[in-house]
Amino acid sequence: MGVPGTPRREVVTGAPRAPHGPARPARVYAAEPVDSLALRSLMRRQLRLGTTVFALLVGVLGLLPLAFTALPDPRVRPGSALIVWAVLGVAVYPALVVLGRWYVVGAERNERDTVDLERP
């Protein structure tokens, strides 16, 4: 193909690799000298949200072992064992996802509020 010494001509098609460049400024941080007050308020709100979710988790799941000790003996009433299975085996997981989703919505709202504050 072609005369020896002549580089082969190639047609390049397809999207350029631009997305790796400036279009994805994933690591650009708040540029202005940090507004200490806004930062503190954001941190406080995020921490409050985080501890609320954590307290819910601990308050519900953390008390379950104690609550289970109060259940009637399954040898007397077999139904009480089923409650434990249903709660620990199934119900916990959707609850965790819902709690997590709720946190994400709240955390992103807190961040949006701060950004809006910075750029009126």
Partner 1 sequence: MNQTYGIVAVSAAIVATLVIGSTGLRISRTTSDFYVASRTVPPYLNAMAVSGEYLSAASFLGIAGLVAAQGVEMLWFPVGYAAGYLVLLVFVAAPLRRSGAYTLPDFAESRLESKAARRVAGVLVVGVGWLYLLPQLQGAGLTLGLVTGAPRWLGGVLVAAVVTLAVAAGGMRSITFVQAFQYCLKLTALLVPAVFLVIAWHGDPHPARAVDEPPAFRRHTQVTVESTVRVRLDAPLRTVVTGAVDGRAHNGGPLVLQPGVHEIRAGTTFRFPPGAPVPERESGDGRRGGASSWAAPLSGGKDDHPLYTTYGLICATFLGTMGLPHVLVRFYTNPDGRAARRTTVIVLALVGGFYLLPPLYGLLGRLYAPDLLLTGNTDAAVLVLPERLVGGVGGDLLGALIAAGACAAFLSTASGLTLSVAGVLSQDVLPSLGVRHFRPATLPAVAVPVTVSLAAGNLPVANAVGLAFAVAASSFCPLLVLGIWWRGLTAPGAVAGLLAGGGSALTAVALTIAGPLADGWAHTLLAWPAVWSVPLGFLTMILVSLATRDRIPAGTEAVMARLHLPERPAGRGAPATPRSDERMTDRRPAAHRSRP
Q: Which of residues 57-86 bind partner 1 (CB under 8 A)?
A: 57-58, 61-62, 65-66, 68-69, 71, 73-75, 78, 80-82, 84-85
Q: Which is nearer to partner 1, 11 or 66 (CB)?
A: 66
Phi, psi values for residue 117, rounded to 5°? -65, -40
Cβ neighbour number for residue 57 with a 10 Å cutoff: 14
Running DSSP on this structure, what letter comes out for residue 91?
I
Binding status of residue 1 toward partner 1 by CB under 8 A:
no
Cβ neighbour number for residue 79 with a 10 Å cutoff: 10
Residue by residue, DSSP assigns 6-44 as SPPP----S--SGGGTTT--TT----SSP-HHHHHHHHH
Helix (H) or strand (E) holding 114: helix 92-118
Judged by CB under 8 A, which of 15, 59, 90, 109 binds partner 1? Answer: 90
**Smallest distance from partner 1 to CB 86, Å:** 10
Q: Which residues bind partner 1 (CB under 8 A)?
A: 17, 20-31, 34, 36, 39, 42-43, 46-47, 49-51, 53-54, 57-58, 61-62, 65-66, 68-69, 71, 73-75, 78, 80-82, 84-85, 88-90, 92-94, 96-97, 99-101, 103-104, 107-108, 111-112, 114-115, 119
